Amino acid sequence: MKWQKMKKAIGNIGSTLSMIILAVILFNVVTAKMTGENPSIFGYQMKAVLSGSMEPDIKTGSIIFIKVASEGDQFEKGDVITFITKENFLVTHRIAEVKDRGSHFITKGDNNNGPDLEPVHIKNIVGRYTGLTIPYVGYAFKITETRLGAALILLLPGILLIGYGLITLWRTMRIRENYRESEAQTPHE
């Protein structure tokens, strides 16, 4: 009996924490969409990773948190950085070699056979990976960058709230029905 209560309490706490985390991420994404800025939490930007170049450390479909680079930051071999390529893509790879006294970097994905073709200039570094990753959320994060995804992210919380309300109402009505049936079956004196 006690184990059942404890299991239920742990499940409730886990569900609540998951909902809070998702709500914070959702709020940040919506706010970022409205302001045109990158989503961030406490000065750390969230980036979706949609390739397997950094596996197994960073799984495809994850969200990673990066500390935004500022002038004067030093980067060294082994740091995982997010940078902008000449084609305007965001890439997260590990620094394999430091060139020109820290102004250029040779990078490589952990899961790639060789280094990236173009050296990364320090001005193209967006930030340094913090080590914090949330698996699988990156797919949903990336969808929000489309018009349909942005519309869904605005409508989805309302739909979920209405659905939750309907389920709660249905459960309450079932409890009342069961209570009435048990009262009808109990002999009264």
pLDDT, residue 94, reads 96
Q: Model confidence over 131-187: pLDDT tens digits?
A: 888 888 777 777 766 777 767 767 777 788 788 888 888 888 888 777 777 776 666
CATH number of the 38-144 domain: 2.10.109.10
Q: Which residue out of 18, 40, 51, 103 is catalytically annotated?
A: 51
Kindly report, residue by residue over 68-78, the tens digit of the pLDDT.
888 878 999 99
* Residue 62 bears catalytic tag: no
Domain spans, the chain = 38-144, 146-184
pLDDT value at 39 more than 70: no
**Rounded to whole angstroms, how far apart are CA atoms 90 and 19?**
29
* Residue-wise DSSP of the chain: -HHHHHHHHHHHHHHHHHHHHHHHHHHHHHHHHHHTSPPEETTEEEEEE-SSTTTTTS-TTEEEEEEEP-TT----TT-EEEEE-TTS-EEEEEEEEEEGGGTEEEEE-TTSSS--SSPEEGGGEEEEEEEEEETTHHHHHHHTTSHHHHHHHHHHHHHHHHHHHHHHHHHHHHHHHHHHHHHHHSPP-
Q: What is the largest CA-CA distance in the chain?
A: 95
- What is the pLDDT at residue 71? 81
pLDDT given for residue 76 in this prediction: 92
> Are 124 and 83 spatial neighbours (Cβ–Cβ below 8 Å)?
yes
